[in-house]
Structure 1
């Protein structure tokens, strides 16, 4: 008996799509119903075959510090950052902690807050909520509730009909007693939602068994419009490695179906199990059926700097024996992450300060910070006096692309059905490059009026440019099983979407 048909369908669809892309098979598979949703090329779901092109991971561009952890109650061990974008305002939440190590969950840890109008320039408001160090106002929004302040992770609840007083929700806690829930109307004034933890070791079942710590990282939650439920991605240990598990809820109070997440390479085979410190899993804001995970990869005992270098940058002596970077994973539901790209998404920069333990940890959420730009924030210089949050940027949908070099190549999709009258492409070419697309029937034959010769070549750099055909708009093809054949030269194709005019 299938307990969750949606989860099973998503898993089998993605598995078959990735396997088919690697084998070049196309016959005998059902069409993918993409409707008018945006599909960034972060995995192999849509791809049936590639010739002379390849999926390429993009690297975010370093835009410099966003803000320093320089208040007296913040300090070198501040971290576990969450970035929320609520209408015109950007909000940042993070643990303030002047000491690390065994004092991991003490009442010295507080939840700090910063805000921005554009996601670039940040300020720390003076709030009269939690005075500290002789100051009547601080940027602290939660304190004196350890261990919840250790890893407090908020979200904006997008569930239809949510109580405005509970629009903001958050989880925080540790191995014992578990995760407590908090709510807020404005993201500044928080109150505990339930007297008892909403998710405990007992609730985690086999995923909470053993002697390893549970929840001792940033445990992230969100409302999934694609699955119609709340999802929680939390820290577990298995076989001595930091792993990620997932649970589900209809009401945010009762969590069920704890599942240990597995990892799959682009050919469908299992990916190596690496130490992943935080998962930072969240729905991509332009394609919420895809969960983006900008996970922190922790290389335990892999020391890159000498004791002399460590002393020169004044890092805590306990925090330079490991190194870390960030990787990109995706999921379309269920218990599997796609590790389409095994290489680093954010690699450590030049300088010893970038090679200390637990630095290069991404903040939760990628947010839009310009008409064509989105930003990722990264915790850097951990354990050092210069600890700060740094901003990196990408083009919209620009996590990865189908890339062709100067000699060119082509990619063909699996059979699909769409709704809409135009095909919008996110792409970039050189001055010598270009992109053309052909619409085929399910057997791979060009549809008259929409063949390659009927498509006007796309040259330039746009996030939503319509492809134009001699056959006119695409309304006559909506709902029909088709394939897309892309021919690219010195170009990157980031995403596609069918839409009404």
Structure 2
């Protein structure tokens, strides 16, 4: 590593951090650290998601997935500014738990020759200035670009550019707001792929920190990766995960590295490579991660070289390290019809779905052009844009019975409390609590003892004839068994 080069970059980042903001009021992000806010419902003891990786026995029962729905108001942010020539490209939409504001960090570029060029995935890079921009919203639907004027003030007065770095290529700025780190100068963290014009040791996924999400300092850490990466923090533990890309043979494939402090990282390991069920044109382009009902899930971006299109599958992990695709590999988010805003590709958003009321929003990168195809002929009105898709609260994956079917979960330690079920059924549903292994149903918590429930409920309490709650089983290993005709069950919640 060229130490003087790295020192120059770090000092330049610090200088940028000292620049004044114009027409923008700083938020409380720079204030003294406060502990993370409590969960929306502090009465929750534990949640169980009925995803395929948490199910054991089943009869007349199948996995159930809910395709994401695209609202009519899409796309919600289009390229309008002269510095957004490439469109509104890959980025992260967060909702700050501190002020409730939606914050969007996205990449774009504008013409401006750099020092030479480099070929990246059949595209010559280096002819444009790659920058990161910031937009914000009160509702996640109507967005504004604050006039920050941190960079390129003369060329673009009133711009919202927050990060620039001379490069052949900068890609996929992935941002988290970290409430675990006690240092307020490191409240926001960013990972971005970079190809340096002078120092090859700076090629890879570069890490940055910021007190406010607007002024960034390069940490000096570069993770080994190609482009199309994603940073995730498990807010249950504070640990960081970097989803990276390399090729296995000619196929884009996915790797994982992790860190406890954002400084020292594990060596990357493969997590997704093509298998016997994938054809020769299958590539794993990018992925994201999130938690739902206590289970770690993610969205995996697949790219079909033969059609040049991308779509999104659901994936899951029991420990954040070992990942698996769903057995049926369902397409939960697909490109739109020809000529629409995402007809060329639906690329994963680089942040978690956001719960708004009883609906999750997943913001994604929408392209009317296929990967290596200029379908729009350069029409500026059809440049990449920000779009979102939705699913109902905790209803993304579950189990569905046919006839008189049932299923049971993996064993887990009972937290006690009251049990609530998220389900849909026009008939009767019953719930039993089973022992692990070869054990049967616990006395008092059998299928026959359960008071049947019916209807469409995000949260319906389950009781038994002599047992109104599960306090009697607290600390014991249990399994949940659900029985019914044509039941669609998504999750269970234990509450005080």
What TM-score do you get using the length of structure 1 for normalisation? Answer: 0.76
Which residue of the other structure, out of 346, 349, 352, is the alignment partner of 1:366? 352
Q: 2-side partners of 1:401 and 1:155: how far apart?
A: 28
Question: Which residue is 2:38 aligned to?
Answer: none
Question: Which residue is 2:472 aligned to?
Answer: 476
Q: 2-side partners of 1:51 and 1:279: how far apart?
A: 32
Question: Aligned-pair distance for 1:166?
Answer: 0.6
Which residue of the other structure, out of 409, 415, 437, is the alignment partner of 2:411? 415
1:435–1:487 CA contact under 8 A, matched in 2? yes
Q: 3-state DSSP class of the match of 1:62?
A: coil
Which residue of the other structure, out of 344, 347, 354, is the alignment partner of 2:334? 347
Question: Aligned-pair distance for 1:59?
Answer: 0.3
Question: Aligned-pair distance for 1:168?
Answer: 0.3
User: Are the structure 2 counterparts of residues 285 and 50 from structure 1 closer, same or farther at C-alpha, using a change threshold of 3 Å?
Assistant: closer
Q: 1-side partners of 2:75 and 2:428: how far apart?
A: 36
Question: Aligned-pair distance for 1:134?
Answer: 4.5
Question: Aligned-pair distance for 1:221?
Answer: 2.1
Task: Determine if the alignment matches structure 1 residue 44 to structure 2 residue 41.
Answer: no
User: Are the structure 2 counterparts of residues 39 and 180 from structure 1 closer, same or farther at C-alpha, using a change threshold of 3 Å?
Assistant: same
Question: Which residue is 1:292 aligned to?
Answer: 297
Q: 1-side partners of 2:310 and 2:272: how far apart?
A: 21
Question: Which residue is 1:427 aligned to?
Answer: 423
Query: Within 5 Å, which residues of 2 pair with 1:322-337?
Result: 322-333=308-319, 335-337=321-323
**How many residues align structurally?**
418
User: Are the structure 2 counterparts of residues 97 and 433 from structure 1 closer, same or farther at C-alpha, using a change threshold of 3 Å?
Assistant: farther
Question: Which residue is 1:151 aligned to?
Answer: 172
Q: 2-side partners of 1:285 and 1:481: how far apart?
A: 22
Task: Determine if the alignment matches structure 1 residue 454 to structure 2 residue 444.
Answer: no
Task: Determine if the alignment matches structure 1 residue 117 to structure 2 residue 138.
Answer: yes
Q: 2-side partners of 1:263 and 1:423: how far apart?
A: 39
Query: Within 5 Å, which residues of 2 pair with 1:6-405?
Result: 36-45=45-54, 47-63=55-71, 64-87=74-97, 88-98=100-110, 102-105=123-126, 108-131=129-152, 134-146=155-167, 149-159=170-180, 161-174=181-194, 176=200, 177=202, 178-194=204-220, 198-201=221-224, 214-217=225-228, 219-224=229-234, 229-262=239-272, 272=278, 274-280=282-288, 282-284=289-291, 286-287=293-294, 290-302=295-307, 322-333=308-319, 335-340=321-326, 341-353=328-340, 357=344, 359-383=345-369, 384=376, 385=380, 386=382, 387-405=384-402
Q: Specify every segment of 5 or more residues in structure 2 that has no aligned partner in the other structure, as ranges.
A: 1-43, 112-119, 370-375
Task: Determine if the alignment matches structure 1 residue 498 to structure 2 residue 494.
Answer: yes
Q: 3-state DSSP class of the match of 1:256?
A: coil
Question: Aligned-pair distance for 1:353?
Answer: 4.0
Which protein is richer in strand relative to its size? 2
Q: 2-side partners of 1:497 and 1:437: how far apart?
A: 13
Q: 2-side partners of 1:489 and 1:256: how far apart?
A: 47
Question: Which residue is 1:16 aligned to?
Answer: none
Question: Aligned-pair distance for 1:62?
Answer: 0.8
Question: Aligned-pair distance for 1:225?
Answer: 5.1
User: Are the structure 2 counterparts of residues 271 and 467 from structure 1 closer, same or farther at C-alpha, using a change threshold of 3 Å?
Assistant: farther
User: Are the structure 2 counterparts of residues 228 and 355 from structure 1 closer, same or farther at C-alpha, using a change threshold of 3 Å?
Assistant: closer
